[in-house]
Amino acid sequence: MTLTPVRRHVAAGLLLMLMLPVFIGGCTRSPAVSRERPAAAPAVTRAIVTKHTDGDTAHMRLPNGVDEKVRFIGIDAPEVAESPEAYGQDASAYTARAIPIGSTVWLEFDAERRDQYGRLLAYVWLDEPADGSEAEVRAKMLNAELVLNGYAQIYTFPPNVKYAGMFRRLQSEAREAERGLWAGD
């Protein structure tokens, strides 16, 4: 059967439409699968520290001018308020030194933005992140520092689990080194 130029054009168009999903699917790579790609820089929001609460919570002014109570994702520091716990004051003092009032931090959000108490949930970066690698998390993220130095333990609350694996490794290091909460008597 001989195809006219119009029929050849239509046939080529149909073939392209049928093959396009296969072509696109074969040419794209999921970042979760590809280990060759560098990690993407986390999306962050700049904030100013306005008040300290305890080791894992602080107040921050967001770019829209609203002051928010921010709970640090993935960790739990000992309490200092109603039922003070061992290392609670130490954790609170560490956080106050790490993010003094008036300092700039960068907040990264995960799957859920607020907890059941209405607090904003965030990973708190001390310097703007570039790639979100484990080395950068260790060097720049307050949540990670608190765990690594034994001032907090991991507190995984799905679906906010982006750095849960890293936090587990940092907590193991803190335990092995007997830092803070993991120190002997």
Question: pLDDT tens for residues 97-110?
Answer: 999 999 999 999 99
Q: Is 119 known to be catalytic?
A: yes
Catalytic residue of the set 29, 36, 68, 119: 119
Whole-number pLDDT of residue 65 = 97
Whole-number pLDDT of residue 24 = 36
CA–CA dist 72, 68 (Å, integer): 12
- Give the confidence band of 38 by pLDDT, cuts at 50, 70, 90: very low
Q: Which amino acid is at 116?
A: Q
Place of tokens 């700049």: 46
> 159: cis peptide before it, omega within 30°?
yes
Whole-number pLDDT of residue 166 = 97
Q: Hey, what are 102's tokens?
A: 């008036």
Task: Please state the rounded mean pLDDT for residues 47-54.
Answer: 97
Q: Which of 119, 140, 129 is nearest to 56 (CA)?
A: 119
Q: Which of 40, 44, 41, 39 is nearest to 125 (CA)?
A: 44
- Give the confidence band of 185 by pLDDT, cuts at 50, 70, 90: low
CB distance 40 to 31 below 8 Å:
yes
Catalytic residue of the set 46, 79, 169, 175: 79
CA–CA dist 148, 126 (Å, integer): 15
Task: Please state the rounded mean pLDDT for residues 136-146.
Answer: 98
The fraction of the chain above a pLDDT of 90, given in percent, is 72
Torsion of CA 157, 161, 163, 167, to 10 degrees: 30
Whole-number pLDDT of residue 41 = 79
Q: Which amino acid is at 117?
A: Y
CA–CA dist 120, 110 (Å, integer): 11
CA–CA dist 101, 142 (Å, integer): 15
Stated pTM of the model:
0.78
Q: Is 138 known to be catalytic?
A: no
Task: Please state the rounded mean pLDDT for residues 5-15.
Answer: 47
- Give the confidence band of 18 by pLDDT, cuts at 50, 70, 90: very low
Q: Give me the architecture of the 45-182 domain, per CATH.
A: Beta Barrel (2.40)
Q: Is 145 known to be catalytic?
A: no
Catalytic residue of the set 68, 71, 136, 145: 71
User: Of the ranges 27-31, 42-46, 155-159, 179-183, which one carries the lowest mean pLDDT score?
Assistant: 27-31
Pick 68 or 42 by higher pLDDT.
68
CB distance 143 to 167 below 8 Å:
yes
- Give the confidence band of 184 by pLDDT, cuts at 50, 70, 90: confident
Q: How many CB atoms lie within 10 A of CB 95?
A: 26
